Structure 1
Amino acid sequence: MSLSSSRIDTSSAPRSPEVLAPSTRVRWTARILTGLAVALLSFDTALKVFQLAPAVASAAELGFTPGAFWWIGLFEVGCLALYLIPRTAPLGALLWTGFLGGAIATHVRLDNPLFSHVLFPIYVAILLWLPLWLRDARVRAMAGPVAR
Structure 2
Amino acid sequence: MTMNQDTIMQTSAELSSVSKVMPWLGAGLTGLVVLFLAFDGITKVIRVARVMEACQKMGIGPDLAVRIGILLLACTALYVIPKTAILGAILLTGYLGGAAATQVIARSGIFPIAFSIGFGLLVWVGLILREPRLVRWILLRQ
Q: Structure 1 length normalisation: TM-score?
A: 0.78
Match of 2:137 among 133, 136, 142: 142
1:49-101 superposed Cα distances (whole Å, 9 cap, x missing partner): 11111221111111010000000111111101100100100100100110111
Which of 18, 22, 26 is 2:22 aligned to? 26
Paired amino acid for 1:59: C
Q: Is the 8 A contact 1:47 1:54 kept in 2?
A: no
Would you say 1:71 and 2:67 are equivalent positions? yes
1:131 aligned residue (112, 121, 126):
126
CA deviations on 1:11-59 (whole Å, 9 max, x unpaired) are xxxxxxxxx9x72211111011001101110110110011111221111
1:63 match: secondary structure: coil
Which of the pair is proportionally richer in helix? 2
**What 5-or-longer segments of structure 1 have no aligned partner?**
1-19
Q: CA RMSD in A?
A: 1.8
User: Does the Cα contact within 8 Å between 2:34 and 2:76 map onto a contact in 1?
Assistant: yes
Q: Any conservation in 1 of the 2:42–2:69 contact (CA below 8 Å)?
A: yes
1:108 maps onto 2:104 in alignment: yes
The C-alpha deviation readout for 1:80-139, integer Å capped at 9, x for no partner, is 11001001001001001101111111111122211x211111111111000111122452
Matching residue's letter, 1:97: T
Q: Which residue of 1 aligns with 2:92?
A: 96
Question: In the comparison of the two structures, how many residue pairs are matched?
Answer: 125
Q: Is the Cα contact below 8 Å between 1:45 and 1:77 reproduced in 2?
A: yes
- AA partner of residue 69 (structure 1): A
Report the equivalent of 2:55: 59
Which aligned segments of 4 or more residues in structure 1 are displaced greater than 3 angstroms?
none
Find out whether 1:47 has 2:43 as its counterpart. Answer: yes
- The residue number in structure 1 matching 2:11 is none
Identity of aligned residues (%): 37
